[in-house]
Amino acid sequence: MKKIILDGNKQKTPMDMYRFFSDEFDFGPYFGNNPDALYDFMVPIDAEDKPLIISWSNSDVFKKEYPKEFEQFVSVFNRMDEFVKFDKTIFQFKFS
């Protein structure tokens, strides 16, 4: 199981978010720092990370400053959920 806790007060910009994921999952130098790259690097979810739980607290702080990028991140997480056929034993996403 791998639990990722995002915090809108810490990951304040889109680049902060991409760096966080890149560091957390060791994406390496070829990670593109964009929504498509994030999806491509996150899917499929490695067996040792299942279930992967992403919790995003203070997401409203990020959403207020970066509404378009907020929607892009949520879209990536929703697409990941669709990829695993909404199986909560593989992936879960929550935000507040």
> C-alpha dihedral over 88, 72, 20, 15, to 10 degrees?
180
CB 6 within 8 A of CB 58: no
Tokens of 56: 């995003």
CA distance 1 to 89: 9
- Class of 2-95 per CATH? alpha beta
CB 56 within 8 A of CB 96: yes
Tokens of 27: 């994406």
Mean pLDDT, rounded, of the chain? 96
Full-model pTM: 0.93
CA distance 59 to 46: 26
Tokens of 31: 């990670």
- Domain edges within the chain: 2-95
What does the pLDDT look like over 31-90, one tens digit per residue? 999 999 999 999 989 999 999 999 999 999 999 999 999 999 999 999 999 999 999 999
At residue 96 the predicted structure's pLDDT band, cuts being 50, 70 and 90, is: confident
Alpha helices in 5-89 (DSSP H): 14-25, 35-42, 59-65, 67-83
